[in-house]
Amino acid sequence: MVPLEPLTVAAVQLNAAADKAINIRRAEELVADAARRGARLVVLPERWTGYGSAEVVRASAERLEDGEAVAAMRGWAREHRVHLVGGSITERADASARLFNTSLAVDPGGEVVAAYRKIHLFDVDVEGRRYRESDVDDAGDEIVTVDVDGWTVGLSICYDVRFPELYRILALRGAEVLLVPAAFTAATGRAHWDLLLRARAVENQAFVVAPACWGEHPGGRHTYGHSTVLDPWGSVLDALDEGDGVVLATLDPDRLREIRATLPALAHRRPDAYRWPAPVEA
């Protein structure tokens, strides 16, 4: 096995407006900035092409085969010779009304090498506001990893971060980096964003890259921002609270190996003793 080399990653933070064309232009600027600063892996936030009301989300939907945002991402990756994970866009799966919240991984040649469709849909009531992601999207059911310069990278989206089972499976499939692009609500972000990200990093002894939308969006929604990159000890390598920008950090494979060797929690797992309750109920 070829030893891992340090990997410079960038988490892009932006405010996704109702105008898809404006969002694409702003993302293009931020991806270019990340590439100029040495990023090899650039990750966009959730719903960066359009976030807010259900009408805005539906209006941003596109097919993977010929979508405007997909073409833009492929072009940026090819132009800057970077790995690009498109946070998530709204995917129109076919001629029907079926939509998915989908994260695409694009290689430096501009080829789409993986697609992850959000498994856990945000159907909650928070501080008097009702969110029903299932009114717009279908749920995915496939867990996805992708290779980035020899690093195994696990894909997820936003609300997924509350489900540790997903991340443990990613870790057991070899993930050394966990991506959590998000449009976390301001209310839940203040309470749980940092806590959940640090938990996923520490329990899986993996780097976490979490780009986020921030600010006010159509329909009166507010997202928390606070994009961050964490190491496997749960320490912050870089972060941005508010505003459009790029969070940049270099992932050190020696740090990963040191943590996994000196506190070998993953190796101490006891799968022979773990049994799901039967039946498993919500």
The mean of the pLDDT values for the chain is 96
The single residue of 20, 133, 158, 176 carrying the catalytic annotation is 158
Q: Which residue has the tokens 């970077």?
A: 82
pLDDT in tens, 253-278: 999 999 999 999 999 999 999 988 88
pLDDT in tens, 143-201: 999 999 999 999 999 999 999 999 999 999 999 999 999 999 999 999 999 999 999 99
Residue 171: the pLDDT is: 98
Residue 71 tokens read as: 């073409």
- Structural domain boundaries of the chain? 7-263
pLDDT at 3 over 90: no
20 is catalytic: no
pLDDT at 281 over 80: no
pLDDT at 97 over 80: no
The single residue of 20, 91, 118, 213 carrying the catalytic annotation is 118
Residue 69: the pLDDT is: 98
pLDDT in tens, 222-233: 999 999 999 999
The single residue of 20, 46, 62, 133 carrying the catalytic annotation is 46
**Residue 280: pLDDT band with limits 50, 70, 90:** confident
pLDDT in tens, 38-86: 999 999 999 999 999 999 999 999 999 999 999 999 999 999 999 999 9
For residue 210, report the phi and psi dihedrals to the nearest 5 degrees. Answer: -130, 85
CATH of domain 7-263: 3.60.110.10
Residue 151: the pLDDT is: 98
Residue 78: the pLDDT is: 98
